[in-house]
Amino acid sequence: MNYLILVHKGLKTIKPIVRLRWGVMTALNVEKFRELTPSEFFYRNREIAGFSNPVRALYQTVRELVENALDATDAHGILPNIRIVIRRESGTSREGIYSIMVEDNGIGIPPNHVPQAFGQLLYSSKYVLRQTRGMFGLGAKMAVLYGQITTGKAVEVVTSPINSVRTYYFKLRIDIKHNKPIVLKKASYPKINGWHGTIVKLYIEGDWSRARSKIYEYLRRTAIIAPYAEILFEDPDGNVIFFERRTSKMPPPPKEVKPHPHGVDIEMVKMMIHSSSAGTLKEFLVKEFQCIGEVTALRLIEQAGLNPDINPKELSIDEIEKLVRVIRTSKDIRPPKANHLSFLGEEIIKTGLKSILNPEFVEAVTRKPSVYEGHSFIVEVGLAYGGAIKPSDKPILLRYANKIPLLYDEGSDVSRKIVDSIDWSYYNVTFPAPLVILVHICSTKIPYKGVGKESIADVPEIEREIELAIRDVARKLKTYIAKKRKEREEAEKAVAIAKYIPDVANALAKIFEDIPREKIEKELLKLLNKKLKTFKITSLDSIVISVE
């Protein structure tokens, strides 16, 4: 060190400079190079996956495990039964050690994949083009990793795959340095009562009192978007909340698709060529992409100036580049199909909103499929108004992506931007108003702003669809509010008139002595009721008209 300072100081005063500069460079710029495994990277940067502090970590753990449970059920046509138990293991009512257990009745996990599924970051069964909640191969492992570094405890997994006759038990931890699972215990038993599914239990340092409201809100929003699920939650204070199944109608399971030519790049095509068994370029295009038939394939290959019979593995980088340029921009290719997407549909959205929010008015719309950068997507919007919804200064927004509720970073989300840009007075809404807007985007590729999956980027095509969908349901709300207003005006007028009927009847009875007063009153009321369109007044003793 002394030497360094000496040389450093010497730079200003001592000559010759050239020799000294060499000395400084070698002494100061010796860097140690080494590789970081994914586990090490996420261990150091856990906040980017949503594990920044004990509050977020508790919420994120519940979320990741519940997402996996739902992916293992509804994505495979199984009506989800999910049980979540959080227990305080030690500590005060604030920060402390909590155990989190999530159980599902899903397809289970093949035992040979369990260690990596929970003990190796970036290991997933979802690295295919299919609409699932999970997509990064991180969630479960981040929870295991966070638990391991804050409590030192291992994760326990019990699973019985749907087509297996056995149940498997694993206790494992992550070797962070090598990004590999370390299995501490494993066992297997015969299947009991035909049960299939998975139970995951892990321990983390958390802060229940501050995570509480977020976790409850997350579950409530999950219940809104998945009214076909049964969710039981036991919290650390001993409270139990049960969201019962309100419909057995489920969205169709998502299907895996081939990439669309507009959504690929050079690296992806290289990987596709590497794993393809196609013997010719023409066969490669037809077999590995969606929306390319033989005729289109030949046309595209011609436009790229290539030979249709060449083995794709023999293409040079330049040739692949030419091919990609043509297929990415070609107008000859049909837009991507959307029949693989799993959207909820208007009925399920309305059921979810009605049963959880208890509104007076509910509406929903599912837009037709659309496309951004070669990925098809569908936007669905629900609207709930009045009833048990508390008025707020701007619309309450419920954001969802592939059926995942998004709770954080609302301010930077594309949907918030659009909801706030709409002039709601045009739709007869004046704030504070009891208005909830639900926005659901489904796609094989959601443009999240981060791996924590909390907000969606401003993609113009998606923006446009969201706005059209919101305006669509808002128009229906406008008609409803206008109708209600008319009813109220009519009611007010009717009451004003009805108030005078007894006096008028009295006066008339004096003129027409032979007609009883009651009869005149009855006739006058009949006359008034004839003019009323939306309701009738049945008695004048107490005029009660309920107007919201």
* Residue with smaller CB distance to ligand ADP, 104 or 454: 104
The verdict on 417 binding ligand ADP (CB under 6 A) reads no
CB of 80 to ligand ADP, least distance (A): 10
The verdict on 444 binding ligand ADP (CB under 6 A) reads no
The two structure tokens encoding residue 416: 């918030």
Tell me the C-alpha distance between 151 and 358, whole Å.
Answer: 41
The verdict on 198 binding ligand ADP (CB under 6 A) reads yes
The two structure tokens encoding residue 513: 């002595």
The verdict on 80 binding ligand ADP (CB under 6 A) reads no
- Quick one: which of 39, 60, 61, 68 contacts Mg ion (CB under 5 A)? 68
CB of 140 to Mg ion, least distance (A): 6
Size of the site for Mg ion (CB under 5 A): 3
3-state secondary structure of 401: strand
CB of 92 to ligand ADP, least distance (A): 30
For residue 261, whether the previous peptide bond is cis, meaning omega lies within 30 degrees of 0, is no
CB of 137 to ligand ADP, least distance (A): 4
Picking from 169, 120, 112, 165, the residue whose alpha carbon sits closest to that of residue 142 is 120
The verdict on 124 binding ligand ADP (CB under 6 A) reads yes
The verdict on 386 binding Mg ion (CB under 5 A) reads no
The verdict on 137 binding ligand ADP (CB under 6 A) reads yes
CB neighbour class for 34 (10 Å; exposed up to 12, middle 13-18, buried from 19): exposed
- Quick one: which of 50, 106, 263, 369 contacts ligand ADP (CB under 6 A)? 106
- Part of the chain binding ligand ADP (CB under 6 A), chosen from 38-46, 102-110, 317-325, 403-411: 102-110
In Å, what is the CA distance from 489 to each residue of 78, 185, 494?
50, 73, 9
Size of the site for ligand ADP (CB under 6 A): 21
x-marked contacts with Mg ion along 131-160 as a string, rule CB under 5 A: ---x----x---------------------
CB of 344 to ligand ADP, least distance (A): 20
- Quick one: which of 63, 141, 375, 416 contacts ligand ADP (CB under 6 A)? 141
- Part of the chain binding ligand ADP (CB under 6 A), chosen from 104-112, 164-172, 312-320, 474-482: 104-112
The verdict on 434 binding ligand ADP (CB under 6 A) reads no
The verdict on 69 binding ligand ADP (CB under 6 A) reads yes
Name the one residue in this structure whose structure tokens are 């002595």.
Answer: 513
Picking from 76, 77, 405, 61, the residue whose alpha carbon sits closest to that of residue 222 is 405
Q: Are 79 and 177 in contact (CB under 8 A)?
A: no
* Residue with smaller CB distance to Mg ion, 123 or 170: 123
What are the strands of the beta sheet with 166-175, ordered from one edge?
180-190, 166-175, 155-160, 197-207, 95-104, 81-91, 230-234, 240-243
The verdict on 444 binding Mg ion (CB under 5 A) reads no
The verdict on 134 binding ligand ADP (CB under 6 A) reads yes
Partner whose binding site includes residue 97, from Mg ion, ligand ADP, none (CB under 5 to 8 Å by kind): none
- Quick one: which of 57, 84, 100, 135 contacts ligand ADP (CB under 6 A)? 135
Partner whose binding site includes residue 109, from Mg ion, ligand ADP, none (CB under 5 to 8 Å by kind): ligand ADP
**What's the gap between Cα 160 and its chain centre?**
27
Tell me the C-alpha distance between 76 and 88, whole Å.
Answer: 33
Let me know the angle formed at the C-alpha of 519 by 518 and 521, rounded to the nearest 5 degrees: 65
Picking from 80, 198, 67, 74, the residue whose alpha carbon sits closest to that of residue 137 is 67
Picking from 451, 457, 454, 455, the residue whose alpha carbon sits closest to that of residue 135 is 451
3-state helix/strand/coil string of 107-162: CCCCHHHHHHHHHCCCCCCCCCCCCCCCCCCCHHHHHHHHHHHHHCCCEEEEEECC
Summarize as ranges the residues that interact with ligand ADP (CB under 6 A).
Answer: 64, 68-69, 72, 104, 106-107, 109, 117, 124-126, 134-141, 198
Summarize as ranges the residues that interact with Mg ion (CB under 5 A).
Answer: 68, 134, 139
